[in-house]
């Protein structure tokens, strides 16, 4: 199965491009958007949609391979080898709905994406420590 992940690169974030790709794949694995057996886009496909050097994507895929999350299959592509998703529970569904509601309120109050990210990161660090 071909992946539905589409990378979004924020060149102003201060996070290395290859790490942004790694983080986005991990997020898709956690959310179940990517599942075992899915094929990641080729480095050429990523380059075409994001203007990222294909070697940057390959570096990200090597890191994901090192972590045991993907496996390259010569001539076929890079495939997801395991998921990070937890089985969905009622608590996850409720928390997602509450978060969605909170995000709607934040947007209504005039917070933009970066304001929300800063606020969430601040509370995340406060509650979970640096990660």
Please write the tens of the pLDDT for every residue from 91-101.
Answer: 677 887 888 99
Helix (H) / strand (E) element for 26: namely helix 17-31
Closest to 3 (Cα-Cα) out of 55, 59, 41, 56? 41
First-to-last alpha carbon distance for the chain, in angstroms, is 32
On whether the CB atoms of residues 38 and 79 are closer than 8 A, the answer is yes
pTM over 0.85: no
Mean pLDDT of 55-77: 96
Please write the tens of the pLDDT for every residue from 1-29.
Answer: 555 688 999 998 899 999 999 999 999 99
Quote the mean pLDDT of the chain: 88
């Amino acid at each position: 199965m071909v992946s539905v992940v589409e990378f979004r690169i924020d060149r102003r974030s201060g996070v290395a491009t290859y790490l942004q790709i790694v983080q986005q794949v991990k997020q898709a694995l956690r959310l179940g958007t990517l599942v075992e057996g899915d094929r990641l886009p080729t480095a050429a496909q990523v380059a075409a949609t994001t203007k990222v050097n294909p070697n940057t994507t390959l570096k990200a895929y090597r890191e994901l391979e090192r972590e045991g999350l993907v496996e390259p299959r010569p001539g076929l592509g890079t495939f997801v080898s395991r998921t990070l998703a937890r089985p969905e529970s009622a608590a996850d569904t409720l928390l997602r709905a509450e978060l969605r509601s909170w995000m709607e309120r934040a947007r209504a109050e005039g917070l933009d994406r970066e304001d929300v990210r800063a606020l969430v990161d601040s509370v995340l660090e406060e509650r979970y420590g640096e990660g």
